Structure 1
Amino acid sequence: MTLPDNAPAASSNGQASDPNAPVDVICGPLINFKNMDVTPSSSVWRGSILIVTKPSQSKPQLRLRQAGPVTNDMATNGALASPSAVAIDGVRLYEDPLKAFWRFSISVTLEPYEARWEYTIPGFRYAEGGEIPGSWDFAVPSGSQSMRLMFHSCNGFSVGTDMDAWVGPNLWNDVLRVHAQKPFHAMIGGGDQLYNDGIRVDGPLKEWTAISNPHKRRAHGFDNNLRARCDEYYYANYVRWYSTEPFKAANGRIPQINVWDDHDIIDGFGSYTDHFMRCSVFRGIGGVAFKYYCLFQHHIAPPKSTYTTDAPQTMHAINGTAGADPRQLENTFVLEETTEDDSWIIGKRPGPYVEEKSRNLYMRLGKRFAFIGVDARTERTRHQVNYPDTYDLIFSRLENEVAAANGDIKHLVVLLGVPIAYPRLAWLENILSSPLIAPIRLLNKRFGFAGGLFNQFDGQVDLLDDLDDHYTARQHKKERRIFIQRLQGFSKAHSVRVTILGGDVHLAAIGRFYSNPSLRIHSEHDPRYMVNVVSSAITNKPPPKAVANLLARRNKLHHMDPSTDETLMSFFDRQPGGQEKSASWNKVTMPSRNYACITEIGGAVPQGENGEAAIFPLPADGHAPLHQGEADAGSAHPAADGFSSSSAMPGGLDVTVRVEINPQDRDGATDGYAFSIPALAYVPSEADSRPQSRTRSLRPRSLRPRSSQDARPRSAVN
């Protein structure tokens, strides 16, 4: 075991530790994964645990011990467990007259076996009463393992959800059941870890939202009083949601990795019109949301102050953060972090609507996995997702890390807030932004006609902010294409398979990019083959069946560029639990709550052009399976239960999507669907490098789809 160096933080915190003192806990514990330090001789896992307590506490301690190897029989663990625990002092991140945030930084050396670690917090008791767990545990991979991952998004309810039909975050019960069978080493939150939209319905922005004149609404100030009320709202909403079972139980046992999205701030943040996004109220709540995002989701100290219109020093970022406001620091402690954790890739300049720099993530997830989490919200506008220099920082970090890994990294997992391989809805964008909507908007302003069609912020059609969020929106197409091509170049240069995670859309699907079939490249050797696992929502309600079916009918074959095609994969071979969620012909979109599991398949990767898996016949197009791992996809796949493994594609990935059967079942019973992604053994070929003319006839007519299933247009060019 390696202990953290807490000396600088301890001296700035002041309080002495008293292991016998009671610790009055408001929220927590929450466990995070931070990164791994990998050397030829050893690997060290680093993480943190957060608790929120009443103020003026003695410095709490955490005691950590190894509980032996991971086995299905917990009774056998004691024989190999560490005989004693190590005490780790808490570091105070933030304290005001109502609460204090404490971080315990932990690091452990990986063993030759997958290990279970146990921690306790002496004196722990809930401030509001309730049962006190004796201990919590978490699993760490062996030195030769890659991490087993769980991916989720949209973990909350939109305003107006019928709670009689959607009764709580029940799917976390299934997460815990699967975790008990085969532990997850990390759970990846793809955004909307909670929903803060209620701030405009029953919170401090209710009066502001009710201002009917858009010019007055835009000019409204965000003074310190309004900031304080919004601060109270965000904090209370985090405490409420992160203390809700069974999500609460998972928070203390499965290390989290998170990026944020709009609902972590407010619905549509970043995707409304620029002149409205720059209003003081939006900039103000962006700062407050960032503060609690730092504390609850990343266990780091927040900025000393956030934006207000009555403190000029907070209105323009200095060195990438808002200036200090003495009023906000009154009776308040904010830790000054001496160094940034090496998991961060921090943007060069603040976002346009939040006075903070973006925080992207790089992490090593075990032996053969690397991970990038893209902060696609801090820099977002209606016309950009991220600054070009932020992409440069990300790819520069990737190149350095892969070079230092000496060939060990075989998979790159890329986390995005929204899907990037997904059906186009340009036709809907055109309708909703066309002059045809103008008369309806006028009637809405004057008489409230069609009130549900328009949002309460900039008066635009409410659905437009969701469409503008998508990488496939017309204004993001160029940025999307360049990003995918850079990932392809990285994959080709290092023979690393890229897999993308994206949520947001409240249904499950599997998108993928792949080489134009005319190039005759098998997936096992294809650096353009990149799967986008779309998993959403784990808690929020899904869209109506008709929406899922409409998206399925829009599942065209798209040509991203002359060498790259994309489409959704046929995956859902039957309805979950026999309950009809979509049309029987719809095999590509599943409108039901869900989450995903990602597990490395053991065994050596077949090398060269004659790898065993490459005998799978090349398909005519992406509406057919591209390799054996897709041919076996669905409910009968060996990994469909979320904890079993397949063996057909050594060195590849098993991807499982667990789908809720009945939203009123509080046990959260699910059906599983799975497929496998092959490892990449890139083989340069003349065909792969041959330039292609960009025409509609990118493949012979004889190779175009003729399946009776595909009752939709045959092709589309991006």
Structure 2
Amino acid sequence: MAYSGVAPNADIPETDAQVDVTCGPLLNFKNMDVTPSSSIWHGSVLIVTKPGQPQPRLYLRQAGPVIPDPALTAALANTQGVAIDGLRLFEDPNKAFWRFSLILPLEDFEARWSYTIPGLRYPDGGENHSPWDFVVPSRTQSMRLMFHSCNGFSVGTDMDAWLGPNLWNDVLRVHAQKPFHVMIGGGDQIYNDGIRVDGPLKEWTAISNPHKRRTHPFSNAMRASCDEYYYANYVRWYSTEPFKEANGRIPQINIWDDHDIIDGFGSYTDHFMKCSVFRGIGGVAFKYYCLFQHHIAPPKSTYTTDAPQTMQAVNGTAGADPRQLEDTFVLEGEAEDNSWIIGKNPGPYVEEKSRNLYMRLGKRIAFIGVDARTERTRHQVNYPETYDLIFDRLEREVAAAHGDIKHLVVLLGVPIAYPRLAWLENILSSPLIAPIRLLNKRFGLAGGFFNQFDGQVDLLDDLDDHYTARQHKRERREFIQRLQEFAGNHSVRVSILGGDVHLAAIGRFYSNPKLGIRSENDPRYMVNVVSSAITNKPPPKAVANLLGRRNKIHHMDSDTDETLMNIFDGQPGGVEKSAAWNKVTMPSRNYACITEIETPTTNGDGAMPNGELLPIPKDGHFPLHTGESTAGSSHVAADGAASTGGMHGGLNVAIRVEINPQDREGNAHGYAFSIPALSYDSSAGDGRRHHHRRSLHAASLRSRSRPRSARPQTAAN
């Protein structure tokens, strides 16, 4: 066995020095090293303590196979563990962050690992739940994934109607039945919007003069109060059960989105986004995003207007401010995790470089997490060179895997296959709104209709966030075409995760049926699993029904269509959430479970139970393949756990939907479908595949033929 630690075969002492802990433990997955002879799992545990504590120590040991095996259990009975000393990432006069780095081998069996941190003492005297445990796959397994987003409450949520993060109880029940190897946070893991309502930005937000608001300084005093707010909000939320329990037992992978900073960050007008207050809170939010969500040391200082050295990014990180470093320790000189794909240039509003993720999720699944917030403006999601870095990394990793990678999971902060709302954009940005805006400015008319930052219609920042917004369409199309090309070149199925919109849906791209290509052989077939919110309140059912009515067949390009899939074949638990005819959007809190299909239940990929192939439908309002034809609550994987299905090597996807928001047990109803593995030979010579290959190549050339300055900054048709 391989460990990271200081004392292999260490016994856990009966007593250790007391450690006053404020938050934690939080468990993260970092990456895997996969070679023909071994697979090594990398992760970490974080705790937050009071300052001046003795160096804490974590004890780790293998607890045996997940599936009981008496012989293995007996062999492991006398196995001792390893002691791992905490590494201090950050400490100031109020708190300290400690990370324990875990490096462990994958076995021939799915294994449970146990860890304890002796001496933890919580401020309220609460139970420390020690020992904690987590599960890793065998060296021949792909990971079992849980996906969530929007894990918090928007400002003004009626807490009498929407009680706590109760759906995490269902996550823990499913995890107990069949453990998740990782939980993927798609953004908005925490809601920091209250900083402008009852926090240190309240007075600034109330400034009525837009010029004074834009030019307001972000002093060190304001930075310190914002720093205190973000820290306290993280501690409060990450210590809230049952989310706290999941944090210590299921390794996390996270990207951030606007609410991790403040609602709409990046999507307001450029001149306002560049104001000092927004730049300042962007830096403070990044600091705690690094610490709590990634277990890495933050920049030494963040932006203030009274410390000139912090006002311009230096190699993507603001210069050091002696005032911020007074009585403060920040770990320096640590090599970056190999999971990072770090952008070349700082973002326009956050003085840091984007941090995208590449990870291997077990034997056959690769993962990309796109940081779509650090570089975001109203006119771009990411810099063109960031996409190049991502695809260059993918090419290297697939080449090194020698054919093992069969599925690529792409994580985005917002959905990319989703109904168009251009008609609403046109209304809200039309001259008709101008008189109302003037009355709002002078007399406060329709105050809730306009945001308090740039005076625009409040809903516009949400619409501008979407890939389907008119200013993002070209960037969206080019990104999807590059994913199609990657899928075709390597016969790797691509599936996309996205949240943000507070309801569940399944979007998908696919080859225009006129091309006669089955989904099993179609590199253009890419599912977008839309799962949100796991905690925030859903939209009214009228909004979900409106989106359902807008579910048209869209033509992304001449060869690619897109639409939502019919999956919601009934109301969850018989409780009405939307119209009976609406099978495509579900306005109820939810999360997703993704499991590789290990055992087929039919006579081969694409086959119906009687052995016949599912005919290619006329359009995407009908099932595109067998795995969609059985979609709904009767699908074998609706329980969130099943690894059997109609397509060996594909994925089962379950959406677990909350039945009653006031049920503290978080009981849920499942809907599921299957995604087929991709079987595509890019060198095939028959006319249909030859045409398909030419189309993919042509799309790539069209994308790359434009000068870099022309993409993806402007709107597309």
Aligned to 1:649: 647
Post-superposition CA distance 1:373-421 (Å, at most 9, x none): 0000000000000000000000000000000000000000000000000
SS in structure 2 of the partner of residue 510 of structure 1: strand
SS in structure 2 of the partner of residue 175 of structure 1: helix
Distance 1:294 1:37 in 2: 23
Aligned residues: 687
Aligned to 1:636: 634
Distance 2:70 2:164 in 1: 30
Post-superposition CA distance 1:560-606 (Å, at most 9, x none): 00010000000000000101100000000000000000000015899
**Residue 464 of structure 2 is aligned to residue 472 of structure 1:** no
**Residue 227 of structure 2 is aligned to residue 231 of structure 1:** yes
Cα contact 1:181–1:643 (8 A) shared by 2 = yes
Aligned to 1:32: 28
Cα contact 1:562–1:693 (8 A) shared by 2 = no
* Equivalent of 1:187 in 183, 186, 190: 183
SS in structure 2 of the partner of residue 193 of structure 1: coil
Aligned to 2:676: 678
**Residue 547 of structure 2 is aligned to residue 547 of structure 1:** no
Aligned to 2:3: 3
* Equivalent of 1:617 in 615, 619, 623: 615
| 1:566-581 matched pairs, under 5 angstroms | 566-581=562-577
Post-superposition CA distance 1:218-260 (Å, at most 9, x none): 0000010000000000000000000000000000000000000
Cα contact 1:606–1:650 (8 A) shared by 2 = no
Which amino acid counterpart does residue 551 of structure 2 have in structure 1?
N
Post-superposition CA distance 1:435-493 (Å, at most 9, x none): 00000000101111111100000000000000000000000000000000000000000
**Residue 297 of structure 2 is aligned to residue 289 of structure 1:** no
Which amino acid counterpart does residue 297 of structure 2 have in structure 1?
A
CA change 1:611–1:668 in 2 (3 A) is: closer
* Equivalent of 2:508 in 509, 512, 519: 512
Which amino acid counterpart does residue 228 of structure 2 have in structure 1?
E
Aligned to 1:690: 691
| 1:584-623 matched pairs, under 5 angstroms | 584-603=580-599, 615-623=613-621
**Residue 108 of structure 2 is aligned to residue 107 of structure 1:** no
* Equivalent of 1:350 in 346, 352, 360: 346
Deviates more, 1:79-88 or 1:304-313: 79-88
SS in structure 1 of the partner of residue 318 of structure 2: coil
Aligned to 2:10: none
SS in structure 2 of the partner of residue 133 of structure 1: coil
Q: CA deviation at 1:689?
A: 4.4
Cα contact 1:601–1:645 (8 A) shared by 2 = yes
Distance 1:490 1:692 in 2: 12
**Residue 579 of structure 2 is aligned to residue 583 of structure 1:** yes
Aligned to 1:398: 394
SS in structure 1 of the partner of residue 272 of structure 2: helix
Post-superposition CA distance 1:28-55 (Å, at most 9, x none): 0000000000111000001000000011
Cα contact 2:343–2:386 (8 A) shared by 1 = yes
C-alpha RMSD of the superposition:
2.3
Which amino acid counterpart does residue 621 of structure 2 have in structure 1?
H
CA change 1:417–1:81 in 2 (3 A) is: farther
CA change 1:94–1:691 in 2 (3 A) is: closer
Cα contact 1:18–1:58 (8 A) shared by 2 = no
CA change 1:185–1:415 in 2 (3 A) is: same
Cα contact 2:650–2:677 (8 A) shared by 1 = yes
Q: CA deviation at 1:81?
A: 4.5
* Equivalent of 1:269 in 265, 271, 274: 265
Which amino acid counterpart does residue 4 of structure 2 have in structure 1?
P
Aligned to 2:364: 368
Cα contact 2:645–2:652 (8 A) shared by 1 = no
Which amino acid counterpart does residue 574 of structure 1 have in structure 2?
G
Distance 2:359 2:130 in 1: 31
5+ unaligned residues in a row in structure 1: which ranges?
8-16, 695-716
CA change 1:636–1:611 in 2 (3 A) is: closer
Q: CA deviation at 1:688?
A: 4.2
Aligned to 2:436: 440
CA change 1:123–1:436 in 2 (3 A) is: same
Which amino acid counterpart does residue 690 of structure 1 have in structure 2?
H
**Residue 494 of structure 2 is aligned to residue 493 of structure 1:** no
Q: CA deviation at 1:127?
A: 2.7
Cα contact 2:604–2:648 (8 A) shared by 1 = no
Aligned to 1:668: 666
Distance 1:172 1:567 in 2: 30
SS in structure 2 of the partner of residue 462 of structure 1: coil
TM-score (norm 1): 0.93
Post-superposition CA distance 1:116-166 (Å, at most 9, x none): 000000111213311222300000000000000000000000000000000
* Equivalent of 2:296 in 296, 300, 318: 300
Cα contact 2:411–2:497 (8 A) shared by 1 = yes
Distance 1:58 1:299 in 2: 19
Distance 2:663 2:520 in 1: 41
CA change 1:614–1:515 in 2 (3 A) is: farther
Distance 2:692 2:403 in 1: 29
Aligned to 1:339: 335
Cα contact 2:606–2:614 (8 A) shared by 1 = no
Post-superposition CA distance 1:170-191 (Å, at most 9, x none): 0000000000000000000000
SS in structure 1 of the partner of residue 382 of structure 2: coil
CA change 1:123–1:78 in 2 (3 A) is: farther
Cα contact 2:187–2:499 (8 A) shared by 1 = yes
Aligned to 1:699: none
TM-score (norm 2): 0.93
Cα contact 2:600–2:644 (8 A) shared by 1 = no
* Equivalent of 1:538 in 523, 530, 534: 534
5+ unaligned residues in a row in structure 2: which ranges?
8-12, 696-715
Which amino acid counterpart does residue 2 of structure 2 have in structure 1?
T
Aligned to 2:705: none
* Equivalent of 1:117 in 113, 120, 123: 113
Which amino acid counterpart does residue 672 of structure 2 have in structure 1?
A
CA change 1:317–1:220 in 2 (3 A) is: same
Distance 2:315 2:351 in 1: 10
SS in structure 1 of the partner of residue 296 of structure 2: coil
Aligned to 1:88: 84
Aligned to 1:62: 58
SS in structure 1 of the partner of residue 378 of structure 2: coil
Which amino acid counterpart does residue 673 of structure 1 have in structure 2?
Y
Cα contact 1:69–1:80 (8 A) shared by 2 = no
Which amino acid counterpart does residue 632 of structure 2 have in structure 1?
G
Distance 2:297 2:198 in 1: 28
Cα contact 2:600–2:645 (8 A) shared by 1 = no
| 1:322-337 matched pairs, under 5 angstroms | 322-337=318-333
Cα contact 2:20–2:49 (8 A) shared by 1 = yes
Cα contact 1:65–1:81 (8 A) shared by 2 = no
Post-superposition CA distance 1:490-535 (Å, at most 9, x none): 0000000000000000000000000000000000000000000000
Cα contact 2:520–2:676 (8 A) shared by 1 = yes
Which amino acid counterpart does residue 643 of structure 2 have in structure 1?
S
Distance 1:339 1:288 in 2: 22
CA change 1:657–1:133 in 2 (3 A) is: same
Cα contact 2:168–2:666 (8 A) shared by 1 = yes
